[in-house]
A and B are shown apart, each in its own frame.
Chain A
Amino acid sequence: MSSSKLLPGTYTATSVTAFLLQPGQVKTIRACPSTWINESVLSLEPGTVMEADVHNKSVPLENGSLAPIDRLRRERSDSPTPGLVEGTEPGAGQDSAMFVHAQSFEDLTADAEQGQEEEEEEEVREEEGGGDSERTPEIGEPKNEGGGSEETQGPCSKEEEEEEEEGGEAGKPIYSRYGTEEALSSTMGVMMALVSFVEAEKNIIRSIHAEGYKVVFLRKSPLVLVGVSRTRQSERELTRELLYIYYQIISLLTLTQLNHIFQHKQNYDLRRLLAGSEHLTDNLLRLLDQDPGLLLSAVTCLPLPSSSRDVISSSLQAARAKSLVFSILLAGSRLVTLVRKKDQFLHHMDLHLLFNLVGSSSAFREGEGWTPICLPKFNTAGFFHAHISYLEPASELCLILVSTDREDFFNLSDCKRRFLERLRRRSAYQALHEALQAPSYPVSQVGIPDLRHFVYKSKSSGLYTSPEIPVPYQSEEEQERLMGLYQYLHSRMHHPIRPLRSIYRCAEKENLLAWVTSGFELYLCFSPLGTKALAVSAINKLLKWIRKEEDRLFILSPQTY
């Protein structure tokens, strides 16, 4: 591949390059600015683009998983054991789940692979990376799907560089994380040639492994996304990241509109429609490197006494409007509460897209935002309309009201006013402000000496908790390195052929332990001086602590309208 420009060396340790291509030949466009404005900027009739409303009944909901899934509810145990049944683990909601029940990584990637399953997988393995530490352990690894556990000793080779590219159907670049699309157009051409060459044989190219690089392809017609990476992330992890980027684009345009555009104009330059939204994609890619929530398909909450949280939820619940489907109160990137319409579930991926939208735009601080947004896991065909505003100008508290009616701005604005009025009269508002002073907790609260950091996810509630990043990982590089380690553990635990229940790994600078049961996922990072026995005994202690604190750390009683 003539991809010398792409190859790392110049990139930082966990950089991800992303490209996005679309059909049509690579060519330079925009010959005459005034004419292209004329033909398409203003000639878009109102409604052609954003007319599709979510309440359009004729539109079938994309995923059939909107209904809650009944699950076992047993008595909650005070000293939970790793054998806990799902729904009784610490952090499991008492009533119904808030999110669409997407508890596993497989749920996320399942639809990426729909339609590909019948096709034969084409994997081009040119050469396994020299000294690839990822492949060696497989030899001695138990093959059972159940209680397999693995121990790897020895220095964990330093995180390698990672990049990602994303590309599409016939080669017109849409987005690239590094470099300009134009500069990479020849690389994009190579990508497209590969994709179409393989497809000519009725196969689908999924990945290329060469010289320590993984090149992962995600084909979501009419787009092709390509990721190039040199980190430990597995192919599936990279695919998941690409899928996020894809959904990010869908959330701005809807799939219906995207298809419509390319049906009518094969070589349409999608960058025109995505102009001004690059920062959203950039920020999303950053989150993918840093936020365990996107890795675990889960959301974290602002620690808050449950009594205060309940008051806030009921205040939010009281300020309802007919068109309101979801009300979400955020503190930074943490969930304070979420109220949903009965029988409507929000997928955590959609929630992450909303978080990303709010987190990457400063504009909502100045006034009330009102924007069409597609929540692709809910329905790829239509737009919701989101009222986004901060409770107070300098506050971290951001309220997102998701409505189905694009003319309902003033109603929702009034909902916000009523919510705020009600909340201000209650002491919970004070408690909320106090909680904002300490949005996280130090790991020392848990009282396990060698424990540096952990991530615990309750599968049934789709919520996770994690202490603040401790001292050795506070720099951005170190934080991403820690995330990289978790990513590695995660990909081992969720390996498509040989999933693991637990893994203990002594790395150069830390010891790692991961434990997955039907109820939870737990990833721990210990100081390198700890032992395996201590690490294993820490699990029970930690679970007890989480059980004790679950009222504060999780949302146990979600509200509906």
Chain B
Amino acid sequence: MAEKKVGSRREFLGKASALRVKMVILGSSGVGKSSLALRFSKDEFKNSSPTVGCAYLTQVVCLHDVTLRFEIWDTAGQEKYHSVTPLYYRGAHAALVVYDISKRESFVRAQLWLRELEKHYIPGETVVGLVGNKTDLPNIRQVSLQEGQSLAESKGLVFMETSAKSGEQTSELLLNIAHRVNQRTMDKDRDLTEWREAECVELYQGNRPHPLTACCPIGP
């Protein structure tokens, strides 16, 4: 039943439409959340100043049967903004918790973020990813690959180490998340209705920097 709905809905939407995916990026200050978001949306790298509040970016990901329009909420890592971050992970389809492999403290904080997220998401609905960023700094690595992996495994999370600076593994990460989000919506009856509610296709057609028809895997 559910599958059928999905199929028909998607046929109806056609190739020019996209489903909205809300993704939030969390983690402590300076781990590279904004740089990751910038990689996702523009495949660029720039040295940036600390994020103020929250930044909103978008990227369209085309899977073989569906187009997902990722709405990325890049949150500020600073403590003073933490009270507003629930605004952004509420109802998110995907959440990335980022730490800096060269700073153990950020890994500790990532675990706290995961704990915090667990309070708010219903398991099986939000795709949560654990991301160890800054693999371009292997010489000062403080958190080993295994540590990250085992943490992710114990909680059933997507895990990946990336470098927003060099672009290593970033597109793979987004694609991986996209597949999982897509899978979840196929599987879950409940998600589907939420998806429909969230759809807002007409609003964004034709006047967005990323034309929804341009079906490229990832990146501009």
Contact = CB atoms under 8 A, between A and B. Distances in A.
A252 B80 contact: yes
B79 interface: yes
A372 B50 contact: no
Contacts of A45: 83
Nearest to B83: A49
B87 A369 contact: no
B29 A366 contact: no
Contacts of A406: 84, 87
Given A361-B49, A362-B46, A414-B203, A41 B54 contact: no
B52 A361 contact: yes
21 contacts: A34-B108, A44-B79, A46-B84, A46-B86, A274-B80, A275-B29, A276-B29, A277-B80, A360-B49, A363-B48, A363-B55, A367-B41, A367-B74, A368-B55, A368-B57, A370-B56, A371-B76, A371-B81, A372-B84, A386-B53, A388-B52
Contact of B116 (A42, A274, A370): A42
B108 to A, nearest CB: 5
Contacts of A275: 29, 78-80
A417 B207 contact: yes
A378 B27 CA distance: 32
Contact of B77 (A46, A252, A276, A279): A276
B54 A37 contact: no
Contact of B54 (A38, A51, A371): A371
Contact of A362 (B48, B82, B207): B48
B155 interface: no
Interface of A: 33-34, 37-38, 40-42, 44-51, 252-253, 272-277, 279, 357, 360-364, 366-373, 386, 388, 406-407, 409, 413-414, 417, 421
Contacts of A33: 105, 108
B36 to A, nearest CB: 12
B37 interface: yes
Given A45-B83, A50-B84, A276 B50 contact: yes
A413 B207 contact: no
Interface residues of B, number: 42
Nearest to A368: B56
B70 to A, nearest CB: 12
B4 interface: no
A417 B207 CA distance: 9
A277 B109 contact: no
B164 interface: no
Contact of B56 (A37, A252, A361, A367): A367
B96 interface: no
A49 B109 CA distance: 20
Nearest to B200: A410
Nearest to B88: A370
B47 to A, nearest CB: 8
Max chain A CB contacts within 10 Å: which of B48, B76, B82? B82
Contact of B55 (A48, A252, A357, A367): A367
B42 interface: yes
A41 B38 CA distance: 26
Nearest to B119: A42
Contacts of A367: 37, 41, 55-58, 72, 74
B115 interface: yes
Contact of B79 (A40, A360, A363): A40
Contact of B41 (A37, A366, A414): A366
A369 B115 CA distance: 27
B78 A44 contact: no
Contact of B112 (A41, A252, A370): A41
A37 B29 CA distance: 13
A179 B42 CA distance: 37
A49 B80 contact: yes
A125 to B, nearest CB: 40
Given A37-B112, A273-B79, A366-B42, 20 more contacts: A34-B108, A37-B109, A40-B79, A44-B82, A46-B84, A48-B83, A275-B78, A276-B50, A276-B77, A277-B80, A363-B49, A363-B51, A366-B34, A366-B37, A366-B48, A367-B57, A367-B72, A368-B56, A370-B55, A371-B53
B115 A42 contact: yes
A476 to B, nearest CB: 20
A276 B52 CA distance: 9
Interface in B70-116: 72, 74, 76-87, 105, 108-109, 112-113, 115-116
Contacts of A366: 34, 37-38, 41-42, 46, 48, 55, 57
A279 B51 CA distance: 11
A371 B37 contact: no
A252 B109 CA distance: 23
Given A49-B80, A406-B87, A42 B53 contact: no
B17 to A, nearest CB: 18
A46 B90 CA distance: 12
A407 B90 CA distance: 12
Shortest Cβ-Cβ A-B pairs, 3 listed: A371-B53, A49-B83, A367-B57
B54 to A, nearest CB: 5
B147 to A, nearest CB: 15
Max chain A CB contacts within 10 Å: which of B77, B87, B207? B87
Nearest to B80: A273
Nearest to B56: A368
Max chain B CB contacts within 10 Å: which of A34, A366, A407, A417? A366
A431 to B, nearest CB: 23
A88 B77 CA distance: 49
A371 B108 CA distance: 26
